[in-house]
Amino acid sequence: MISSESGLPPRLGGLTFHSPLSDARAARMVERLAAIEPGEVLDIGCGWGELLLRVAEAAPAAKGTGIDINGEDLARGRALAETRGLADRVVFVEESAFGTDRGPVDVVLCHGSSQALCDPEQPHDLSAALGELRRLVRAGGHVVLGECFWERTPTDEELAGMWPGANERDHTSLGTLVDLAIEAGFRPAWIETATGEEWEEFESGYRYDTELWLAAHPDHPLAAETRERVDRQRSTWLNGYRRVLGMAYLTLVAVA
């Protein structure tokens, strides 16, 4: 499928989730969340809200709100909600999550989006983001946080191969991440991390449609720019954070 506006493949069309998350792991997360019979679910930096939609499907009494600043992703989420008969219970709103007043709710989802809860003019503050998550969930409610951590301390060479300005202080260890969650007023009910296979599925899916398009349209006016972008993205993974950066999925319960 090709985007009608740019002639390029749709953004992230090869992904189900915008994170290294398998269907099997997502199903287990959803089962745990549905068991608490949530009434209100909030998805921070939702993208197209696949996990939010699955929670709504599994918890018939739940109403969900997904917030993000990417209109294209939100439009995809609305279309998915309509297709699944969930448009009356799940809404997608284009707005910033910083300082949001959409809580407290029973369940908060925040997968790879904790930066959306922080002051955009300041460096990412994980403690502040966790404090915001605690503010947004009711006592006894659940937060499912997807957050990157260092599997091990990256070398200078690996940092140089990552995103511009990559620094060891960009992330914590898994142990420090969990300790910060406890300090913010949570108990870590479930701790799990993405596997190498989940990362490979995510990284390959991230570029899949675009790679096919580049192979078929090498002389397209946008090919050179697109090829440079995709090659740079792939390099940051293969030559930078592969097997160094982890993704933790923490199911956190808010302490009364």
The per-residue pLDDT for range 166-191, each reduced to its tens digit, is 999 999 999 999 999 999 999 999 99
Is residue 220 in some structural domain?
Answer: no
18-49 pLDDT, tens digit each:
999 999 999 999 999 999 999 999 999 999 99
95 within a domain of the structure (yes/no): yes
Three-state secondary structure readout of the chain: CCCCCCCCCCCCCCCCCCCCCCHHHHHHHHHHHHCCCCCEEEEECCCCCHHHHHHHHHCCCCEEEEEECCHHHHHHHHHHHHHCCCCCCEEEEECCCCCCCCCCEEEEEEECCHHHHCCCCCCCCHHHHHHHHHHHEEEEEEEEEEEEEECCCCCHHHHHCCCCCCCHHHCCCHHHHHHHHHHCCEEEEEEEECCHHHHHHHHHHHHHHHHHHHHHCCCCCCHHHHHHHHHHHHHHHHHHHCCCEEEEEEEEEECC
Q: Is residue 210 part of a domain?
A: no
Determine, yes or no, domain membership for 17: no
13 — pLDDT class (breaks 50, 70, 90): confident
> Does some domain include residue 226?
no
The answer to whether position 6 is within a domain reads no
Express as a percent the part of the chain with pLDDT over 90. 94
pLDDT in tens, 226-247: 999 999 999 999 999 999 999 9
The confidence band for 223, taking pLDDT boundaries of 50, 70 and 90, is very high
Residue 168's pLDDT is 96
Instruction: Tell me the pTM.
Output: 0.94
Domain count within the chain: 1
217, part of any domain: no
Provide the pLDDT for residue 14: 86
Residue 7, pLDDT score: 75
Give me the domain span that covers residue 132.
23-196+244-254
Question: What number is the average pLDDT over the span 86-104?
Answer: 97
The CATH number linked to 166 is 3.40.50.150
**Mean of per-residue pLDDT scores for the chain:** 95
Task: Report the pLDDT averaged over residues 188-195.
Answer: 98
Question: Is 45 inside any structural domain?
Answer: yes
